[in-house]
Structure 1
């Protein structure tokens, strides 16, 4: 559904410590997806991932049915977005900022045949 939160990513300098912390706090488990990226089990749809420059706070992904149209509308409303990226087998994403500079991301799921 457009505008619904579909995924979150929690950045961590030490993903093992972060997984232990959130596991202890909320009972979350995790499964490594690759590259030290850990998908959350028994919690929200999301992952614990290595922090990096520009990725130091949780990242929220809002769903959209048409990523290209959403990015176009984002620009019309004064926001800014990075290049659209394909995530093989998952869909497409774009990291964005609203018109006040607040970061968020957009997600369009892959079509299933």
Structure 2
């Protein structure tokens, strides 16, 4: 459903410590997806990943059926975005900011066929 939160990413300076912390707090387990990206297995749909400059707070992904159309509309409304990225086998994403500077991301799932 468009606009529904469908993924979160929790950035951490030390992902091993973060996985231990959230595992103890919520009972989450994780599995490595690649690099320092660890998918949460028994919690919210999302991952614990390495923090980067400009990515130090949780990132929320909102569902969209057409990321290109959503990015176009975002720009019309005064928001801004990075280029749309394709994640092979996963879908297409765009990291964005609303018209007040609040960061969020858009996610269009890959065609299951």
In the superposition, the TM-score normalised over structure 1's length comes to 0.99
Q: CA deviation at 1:112?
A: 1.1
Following the alignment from structure 2 to structure 1, what is the Cα–Cα distance between the partners of residues 112 and 14? 35
- Which residue in 2 is equivalent to 1:76? 76
Q: Does 1:24 align with 2:24?
A: yes
The correspondence of residues 41-60 of structure 1 with structure 2, limited to 5 A, is 41-60=41-60
- Which residue in 2 is equivalent to 1:110? 110
- Which residue in 2 is equivalent to 1:100? 100
Following the alignment from structure 1 to structure 2, what is the Cα–Cα distance between the partners of residues 70 and 28? 32
Name structure 2 gaps, 5 residues minimum: none
Following the alignment from structure 1 to structure 2, what is the Cα–Cα distance between the partners of residues 18 and 34? 17
Would you identify which runs of 4 or more consecutive aligned residues in structure 1 move more than 2 Å? Answer: none
- Which residue in 2 is equivalent to 1:5? 5
- Which residue in 2 is equivalent to 1:15? 15
- Which residue in 1 is equivalent to 2:37? 37
